Structure 1
């Protein structure tokens, strides 16, 4: 095992209901926050500033609702494409969530500009878009922080934890992970048993899974044969259990890696990248979105420039 790093493959089986619940509930909550951002932007622009800064087109409440209500599902779809509803296997970090929210809202505002000005040729206050952008980032981010803190609090209380079985070979890093997962934590994992990776067999593991009902098997033995690792992986997947293991160097070179923080330990999650069928379509879509990142980051400045013209 590389010192200081844990490098793993992750094959996701059935996710804990707690994770799924928190991902699903974000959709209606985001819709409420987006609606709130639209409402605040409307009130600030057309109620509080109407006299000081006259608008090109003064929208009434009903007219404003008709113009903008259909944008909410479009924003939610953009949020989904940018990974705001992704179920993370190592928990969510507030700093990462802040970046995602900023990019998602900025992209959504940019699409709103394209729809209103490019397609529908709607005339209204451009300053309204800046307020929408600001309030949406603020409200959605605050909502995400509250949900992350709530989920972490539930984890500390032992609610919704993933039960983990560790298959190890006695390294120091493994001992640290074992200690961290044995204590109450905010990562959402609970170590329920430890077995020697050299002694465990696929047949024995099948009996262990049936008896202890884990959600995840974490194998950290790099010296185990590929045949045995594949057999153990199949036992896990056939029973709907997530399987995580340390690959050899060849696996790392051939597969994409993603850096994550796992109990303050740098961790590489290595996932396969299927490029057939839906996988290819999703990849192409994400490539297009990725090419717009530079425009996304600059979109608030474009709006400011538009106001000045």
Structure 2
């Protein structure tokens, strides 16, 4: 049973973290002082005994920081990136506290001569070694769970889309170590099953099953029409003292990742979480856009100049093609591109896709479209605030009106600025490809935006986005 093993596992975690912290500190001491490096630099050093004595404060302090950042909370599906972020935050705060102690205690001879270089080295080494230790433990535990050890025994109460979704994810991730013992449901026949998980009784059987004390967790997965049973089920679980979680069956109503807000104790579920609705996030992204667009204009200016001359010499008409697109908050704007086609009737052009072998595309146009050079004037759109470096690609008003009636959630893409490149584009959804798949990728980007995600997309654009077989 997990509840019998978790306390022992947590104690082992604490002991290993303490040992790794000591080793990291001693390694930093050896590199900076023990090897004689500090003396070679002419720095006055303290006796080793003083540095060793500091461990009496350092080790408990760092363990408290790890506890504060919930690094000892059992999280079977906690990602490596999330855990590394917490380790980095804890160690950064430890570094700041270390620095403040040395600064305010600089009048004390021992603290004045305490090696600041050692503190910095300890910070870097400890982050790396704690992360390596945690990953090693994670690998061992996941290997054990995959082989059937260290299992968490769970009972689902209620058959619904939420129950099926939970079963699907558990089946796809055996390393989580979840053992679903069955489902209780009032509407399904006993013995019927979903992906090997059987209906073992009705909800009225829950009280008897809880008395057996053989479960680690109850997951309430009632369908929407059965929520009146929720109060009684929660009361039974609380009475038995078993850990209980609620998986809402809103998949057919809220097809997204909601987030919770606490309004003075009143929980509010937001239908869609858009990180860029946050002012600090929006300001950071806009600052990156301004800087990036200026760099892009400077960097691509020779290419843009050559392209402009080539267009002017080979095809009559303007160099820049200006087209109305729909942007942030459904507002139209003029998007700039190098003209890659012959001059057309605007009324006909606004409702036509470009097709393979399209006769309207000029000789120069074929080259600049295939290499995405035709998009470079959009750096000026970004600088003016109509677009962003990264975001969903903007579409013409005619197609926006068409797609919003045909594709669910299509208009959500207009909650952020359109982009020069995007998550859909670096995954190959550009040109004459699935609009539905493109929207799925756009929505994933909108709901999971981070500055790091933007940089990742820009990096991938260099290798996947500039030259594309679907650009014609």
Q: Residue 40 of structure 1 corresponds to which residue in structure 2?
A: 27
TM-aligned CA distance change 1:25 to 1:195, over 3 Å: same
Q: Within 2, Cα distance between the matches of 1:192 and 1:233?
A: 19
Matched position secondary structure for 1:218: strand
Alignment of 1:50-69 (within 5 A): 50-55=38-43, 57-69=44-56
Q: Residue 4 of structure 1 corresponds to which residue in structure 2?
A: none
Q: Is the 8 A contact 2:184 2:202 kept in 1?
A: no
1:205-233 CA-to-partner distances (Å, cap 9, x unmatched) read 11133358222222222424544211111
TM-aligned CA distance change 1:243 to 1:177, over 3 Å: same
Matched position secondary structure for 1:70: helix
Matched position secondary structure for 2:40: coil
2:118 to 120, 128, 151: 128
1:216-267 CA-to-partner distances (Å, cap 9, x unmatched) read 2222224245442111111112222222223488xxxxxxxxxxxxxxxx97
Q: Residue 253 of structure 1 corresponds to which residue in structure 2?
A: none
TM-aligned CA distance change 1:267 to 1:17, over 3 Å: farther
1:83 equivalenced with 2:73 (yes/no): no
Q: Which has the higher contact order (CA 8 A, sep 6+)?
A: 1
Q: Within 1, Cα distance between the matches of 2:187 and 2:128?
A: 51
TM-score normalised according to structure 2 size:
0.46
Q: Within 1, Cα distance between the matches of 2:34 and 2:212?
A: 64
Alignment of 1:139-178 (within 5 A): 139-171=129-161, 174-178=163-167
1:93 equivalenced with 2:79 (yes/no): yes
Q: RMSD of the alignment, in Å?
A: 3.2
Q: Is the 8 A contact 2:157 2:221 kept in 1?
A: yes
Q: Within 2, Cα distance between the matches of 1:31 and 1:274?
A: 39
Q: Residue 115 of structure 1 corresponds to which residue in structure 2?
A: 101
Alignment of 1:179-194 (within 5 A): 179-181=168-170, 185-194=174-183
TM-aligned CA distance change 1:268 to 1:86, over 3 Å: farther
* Deviation >6 Å, runs of 4+: 266-275
Q: Is the 8 A contact 2:157 2:218 kept in 1?
A: yes
Q: Residue 234 of structure 1 corresponds to which residue in structure 2?
A: 235
Q: Within 1, Cα distance between the matches of 2:264 and 2:29?
A: 44
TM-aligned CA distance change 1:152 to 1:40, over 3 Å: same
Q: Within 1, Cα distance between the matches of 2:204 and 2:72?
A: 36
Segments of structure 1 that go 5 or more residues without pairing to the other structure are 1-13, 250-265, 276-309
TM-score normalised according to structure 1 size:
0.68
TM-aligned CA distance change 1:235 to 1:160, over 3 Å: same
Matched position secondary structure for 1:65: helix
1:246 equivalenced with 2:235 (yes/no): no
| Aligned-residue offset at 1:170 | 4.1
Q: Within 2, Cα distance between the matches of 1:183 and 1:79?
A: 30
How many residues in Structure 1 have an aligned counterpart in Structure 2? 244
Q: Residue 3 of structure 2 corresponds to which residue in structure 1?
A: 16
Q: Within 1, Cα distance between the matches of 2:57 and 2:263?
A: 34
Q: Which moved more, 1:112-121 or 1:139-148?
A: 112-121
Matched position secondary structure for 1:130: helix
